[in-house]
Amino acid sequence: MTRGAPADRGTTSSASEADAPVIDVVIPAYNEEDSIGLVLADIPPGFVRRVVVADNNSRDATAVRAREAGAEVVPAPVQGYGSACLAALGHVGRTGPPDVVVFLDADYSDHPEEMPGLVEPIARGEIDLVIGSRVLGEAEPGALLPQARWGNRFACCSCGCCTATDTPTWDRSEPSPGEPWNRFGCGIRTSAGQRRCRSRLYDGVCAWRRSL
C-alpha cells in the first residue's frame, strides 16, 4: 500500500467523505481464473473506488472472471509481475490517480478483508508505505516456506531496511526489456528506493494462506 498524490474528489456529501482517502486496488494476474473472483469478493464493500486487474497474458478466463466481478481489466503484454503492476499503475495514473494504491495478489494468498487496518496509517498521514508483513502475521501451514522467510530477511538487510520484516512485491521504477525485475525481486528495488527517498515505512500485520 502506498500513498499517491491527492485525488480529485469532486463534490462530496459530507465532511467525513471529503476526509476519506480515495483508494484504488491493483491486482496483477496470470492464469488466475479460479481465484480472482474470490479475491474481488473479499474486498470490503464501499472501501475502494475501483479495482484494476492487469491481465499478464493469461491463457485462461482470468480477464472474463475479473470483469464479471466488477473490476477494470487492462492488458499487461510484457510478461512479469512488476510489469503487470506498472501496466495497472499507468492506467490508474491516466484515468484519475487515487490517494492510496493497494496491491493484492490474484492467487488468493492475501486477505483483502484486512485492507482497512493496513491502510489506516496512510489515511492518517503518518506513513507513506505499508508493507503487509507475512512474517508478523499468522501464516497457513505451507504458505510461507523457510527459504522465503530467510530470503525476505536477507533482502531487507541488503537494501538497508534491516528493521523491515518483509518486502513489497511491486516496483514503480521503469523497467527495460529483459530486466529481471520485470518478473521477480521487484520488491527489493521498491524497499531500497523508498529508503533513499526517506519515505516513512511501516510493517503491518497480515495473515497469509497458500495460493490456489
- Per-residue model confidence (pLDDT) at position 131: 80
In DSSP terms, 130 is beta-bridged to 202
**Residue 208 in contact with residue 135, Cβ under 8 Å?**
no
| CA dist., res. 62 & res. 179, Å (int) | 25
Cα 17 from chain centroid (whole Å): 24
In DSSP terms, 204 is beta-bridged to 132
Provide the 3-class DSSP secondary structure of residue 105. Answer: coil
Q: What is the pLDDT of residues 46-100, one digit of tens each?
A: 999 999 999 999 999 999 999 999 999 999 999 988 889 999 999 999 999 999 9
pLDDT at residue 8 greater than cutoff 70: no
Q: What is the pLDDT of residues 115-145, one digit of tens each?
A: 999 999 999 998 888 887 767 667 777 766 6
pLDDT at residue 107 greater than cutoff 50: yes
pLDDT at residue 168 greater than cutoff 70: no
Grid coordinates in use for 149?
522467510
Provide the 3-class DSSP secondary structure of residue 157. Answer: helix
Find where cell 528493521 sits: 163
Grid coordinates in use for 5?
498524490
| CA dist., res. 103 & res. 138, Å (int) | 19
Q: What percent of the chain has pLDDT over 90?
A: 45
| CA dist., res. 48 & res. 210, Å (int) | 25
CATH of domain 2-205: 3.90.550.10
- Per-residue model confidence (pLDDT) at position 16: 52
Average pLDDT, the chain: 77
**Residue 199 in contact with residue 128, Cβ under 8 Å?**
yes
Grid coordinates in use for 25?
486496488
**Residue 48 in contact with residue 147, Cβ under 8 Å?**
no
